[in-house]
Amino acid sequence: MSLPALNLAIVGLGNVGTGVARILTEHPERIVRRAGRPVAIKKAVVRDLTKPRDVQLPAGVLTADLDSVIKDPEITVAVELMGGLHPAREVVLALLAAGKDVVTANKALLHEYGDEIFAAAREHGRTIAFEAAVAGGIPIIAAVGQSMSANQIVGLQAILNGTSNYILSEMLLHQKSYQSALSQAQALGYAEADPSLDVNGTDAAQKLGILVQLAFGTKVPTAAFHVSGIDKLEQTDIQQATALGYAIKLLATAKLVDGKLQMSVRPTLVRKDRPLAQTHGPFNAVLLDGDVVGSVWYSGRGAGQLPTASAVTADIIDLAIGRAQLTFKQLDLWGESSAVPVLPESETYSRYFMRLIVEDRPHVMADVTDILGRNNISLSSVIQPEAPEVEATAGVAQVVPLIIMTHRATTGQIASADAELAKLSTVRPGRVLLAVAD
């Protein structure tokens, strides 16, 4: 015999919200079996009531009136799937104040207003569940917040943005242009409403921040670590990396170095034979290193309607059965004193790939390597593809690509060398500087 239904509101019935409504309405027996009671969608809040929806809901469920949720005491759980910061922040605070537990997939909101929202949940004795906010369908919040809790996580390497990974895969496997791959990612529902958040690294950085808070107890703003995206990459970078035996991935990393956190999100060359390099399309992957268990690997669809809805629905079931409080409590258990300091960006280190466009004339290579040498950067390889022999035209310099792989250097050393390279008249603007994963 099951308990009375859990009455639910979905606030935002777009890509993900529709997926959640579809799972709940298409698999009612499964939900009862897992949640111990039916889950009934009482309201679904949208902006535009005239828009066609890909899910059939009973009359009266679809509404543009958020108050009909806030003021209904029978609705005990609300799912925020509007996205963005405002009015999502105000909506979530109002839902908590009205005594509802909240499920959200909104990493931007948690990153920006997490402290305020978690405090409000505590004040009102409610829970926030956010499995879908990081890595879509991969149960990574449960893994880091609960399943790995016997460990101190000492490092993580992850692909956390499905849109960027889809674009990089299309550029590599189907020679698509950056722009057409981005348009496809938008059409497939992977991208944020503002896709610049995907391609400039912000979305992955927000997700890394959430994982780091769970794993290390430290809340790190995105401004405190290096964040760059795939938006400056060209087909030639993908090809040069391939020729060197690497794939380019937007990699989010965090690791403990002498008691400090080294964190970054940036396009990174990963050796082709590593599973991270073979993670394609909208898939995400997370490699965790725990001091007890060793390495643990998670992979799955990180964006898209049903994979994300799978994680949201699991949170709803957890709330119905009383399991969702666990991760939230875990956040509470970290005190201020356990926070791990973040290594300043200039002291973080990596190997690097540099692509320069240089004038094809005597002494250019010597000038470039001199700058790197004076900054104590050691080179591991230098490639300048052979250029055709052409007659010199007065005033017009022939240019060629110059690909340099370095040994480990700090970000400070690389930045200083790059600033000097920028002043060389023989080096063209548009230098590409990518990290190389160990």
Indicate which residues carry an active-site annotation: 207
Q: Which is nearer to ligand NAP, 70 or 132 (CB)?
A: 132
Q: Closest separation between CB of residue 327 and ligand HSE, Å?
A: 17
CA 104 and chain centroid, separation: 16
The option from ligand HSE, ligand NAP, none interacting with 163 (CB < 5 to 8 A, set by class) reads ligand HSE
d(CA 311, CA 315) in angstroms, rounded, equals 6
Cβ-contact 177, 312 below 8 angstroms = no
**191 interacts with ligand HSE by CB under 6 A:** yes
> What residues between 299 and 318 interact with ligand NAP by CB under 6 A?
303-304, 308
**20 interacts with ligand HSE by CB under 6 A:** no
Cβ-contact 366, 395 below 8 angstroms = no
Q: Which is nearer to ligand NAP, 200 or 410 (CB)?
A: 200
d(CA 386, CA 152) in angstroms, rounded, equals 50
Tokens at residue 87, please?
């009015």
Cβ-contact 357, 72 below 8 angstroms = no
Which of 29, 48, 258, 336 forms a contact with ligand NAP (CB under 6 A)? 48
The option from ligand HSE, ligand NAP, none interacting with 198 (CB < 5 to 8 A, set by class) reads ligand HSE
d(CA 243, CA 176) in angstroms, rounded, equals 18
Q: Which is nearer to ligand NAP, 21 or 354 (CB)?
A: 21
d(CA 93, CA 79) in angstroms, rounded, equals 13
Q: Closest separation between CB of residue 160 and ligand NAP, Å?
A: 10
Residues 6 or more apart whose Cβ sits within 8 Å of residue 35:
6, 316, 317, 320, 321
The option from ligand HSE, ligand NAP, none interacting with 237 (CB < 5 to 8 A, set by class) reads none
Query: Stretches 96-104, 121-129, 155-163, 369-377: which one binds ligand HSE (CB under 6 A)?
Result: 155-163
Q: Which is nearer to ligand HSE, 267 or 302 (CB)?
A: 302
Starting at the edge strand found earlier in the chain, the sheet holding 6-11 runs 62-63, 39-45, 6-11, 75-80, 101-104, 128-129
**315 interacts with ligand HSE by CB under 6 A:** no
**361 interacts with ligand NAP by CB under 6 A:** no
Residues 6 or more apart whose Cβ sits within 8 Å of residue 145:
214, 326, 327, 330, 331
> Which residue has tokens 């889950």?
39
**Pattern of binders to ligand NAP over 160-199, x per CB under 6 A?**
-----------------------------xx-xx------
- Beta bridge partners of residue 356, listed in sequence order: 402
**Pattern of binders to ligand HSE over 267-306, x per CB under 6 A?**
-----------------------------------xx---
Cβ-contact 284, 99 below 8 angstroms = no
Closest CA to 41 of 67, 70, 74: 74
> What residues between 124 and 153 interact with ligand NAP by CB under 6 A?
132, 136
**201 interacts with ligand NAP by CB under 6 A:** no
Applying CB under 6 A, which residues contact ligand NAP? 12-17, 45-48, 51, 81-83, 87, 105-106, 132, 136, 189-190, 192-193, 303-304, 308
Applying CB under 6 A, which residues contact ligand HSE? 136, 161-163, 190-192, 198, 203, 302-303
